């Protein structure tokens, strides 16, 4: 049973991060293990059932909320998927640890395998070790964590006249450059 996890830090409160994760429709925005989730609203909670498509599969499968502890842990278990080599049941789990300035999130994927797929367990784990860090970065980007929101600055004073060019051979102290525009706000995509 291959299991892979990675940690990401999101500079948002645990309640916001948990609410985002509790809506399984958001998985398709960042997780490589979820191609799509039906758009119909499902009340988040233990045993909530969604219809989703696993990458490479044509028909939808069931995705069930297997663990639900508000602001601490949430997990979704996929339906058993058959292949000529055996079956696979994915479990996507998210553990949240609140901090003063954000939330540490452990993203985990565990695949329960049977029959011949057991022999491919190391390859499946290798694929998740490759993909899960990328998924973690996408997760942070979707939540707007790439550029943490900062309080608005007071209105800028009029710009000073440009300083004359320094004389040859003199050293000029570097002034900080203009602040880059940062993305603020948060939109849940649904």
Count of domains forming the chain: 1
Check pLDDT > 70 for residue 55: yes
| β-bridge mates for residue 103, sequence order | 10, 98
Give the pLDDT confidence score for residue 23 in this predicted structure. 93
Rounded CA separation 71/25 (Å): 18
Give the pLDDT confidence score for residue 95 in this predicted structure. 97
* Residue 49 within a domain: yes
* Residue 40 within a domain: yes
Q: Which of 76-80, 141-145, 172-176, 178-182 has maximum average pLDDT?
A: 76-80
DSSP letters for the chain = --EEEEEEEESS-HHHHHHHHHSGGGGGGT-TT-SEE-SS----STT-EEEEE-TT-SS-EEEEEEEEETTTEEEEEEPPEEETTEEEEEEEEEEEEEETTEEEEEEEEEEEE-GGGGGGHHHHHHHHHHHHHHHHHHHHHHTTTTS---PPPPPPPPPPPPPPPPPTT---PPPPPPPPP---S-----
* Residue 181 within a domain: no
* Residue 147 within a domain: no
* Residue 62 within a domain: yes
Give the pLDDT confidence score for residue 60 in this predicted structure. 83
For residue 128, the enclosing domain spans 3-142
| Interval 62-110: pLDDT, tens | 999 999 999 999 999 987 777 788 878 889 999 999 988 899 999 998 8
Q: What CATH number does residue 37 fall under?
A: 3.30.530.20
Nearest to 11 by CA among 92, 98, 138, 69: 98
Check pLDDT > 60 for residue 21: yes
Instruction: Report residue 164's pLDDT band, with 50, 70 and 90 as the boundaries.
Output: low
| Interval 97-136: pLDDT, tens | 998 889 999 999 888 778 886 777 787 778 777 888 999 9
Of the candidate ranges 17-26, 118-127, 138-147, 163-172, the one whose mean pLDDT is the lowest: 163-172
| Interval 24-46: pLDDT, tens | 999 999 988 888 899 899 999 99
Rounded CA separation 71/17 (Å): 8
Give the pLDDT confidence score for residue 180 in this predicted structure. 40
Give the pLDDT confidence score for residue 171 in this predicted structure. 44
Q: 109 near 3, Cβ under 8 Å?
A: yes
Give the pLDDT confidence score for residue 155 in this predicted structure. 39
* Residue 190 within a domain: no
* Residue 17 within a domain: yes
* Residue 88 within a domain: yes
């Amino acid at each position: 049973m291959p299991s892979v996890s990675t940690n990401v830090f999101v500079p948002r409160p645990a309640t916001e991060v948990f609410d985002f994760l509790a809506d399984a429709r958001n998985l398709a925005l960042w997780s490589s293990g979820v191609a799509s989730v039906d758009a119909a609203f499902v009340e988040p909670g233990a045993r909530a059932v969604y219809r989703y498509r696993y990458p490479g599969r044509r028909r939808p499968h069931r995705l069930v909320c297997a663990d639900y502890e508000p602001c601490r842990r949430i997990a979704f278990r996929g339906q058993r998927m058959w292949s000529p080599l055996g079956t696979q049941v994915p479990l996507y789990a998210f553990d949240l640890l609140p901090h003063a300035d954000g939330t540490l999130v452990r993203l985990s994927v565990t695949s329960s395998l049977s029959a011949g797929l057991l022999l491919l367990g190391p390859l499946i784990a290798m694929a998740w070790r490759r993909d899960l860090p990328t998924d973690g970065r996408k997760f942070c980007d979707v939540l707007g964590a790439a550029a943490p929101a900062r309080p608005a600055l007071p209105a800028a004073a009029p710009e000073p006249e440009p300083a004359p060019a320094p004389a040859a051979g003199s050293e000029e102290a570097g002034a900080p450059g203009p602040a880059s525009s940062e993305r603020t706000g948060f939109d849940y995509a649904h």
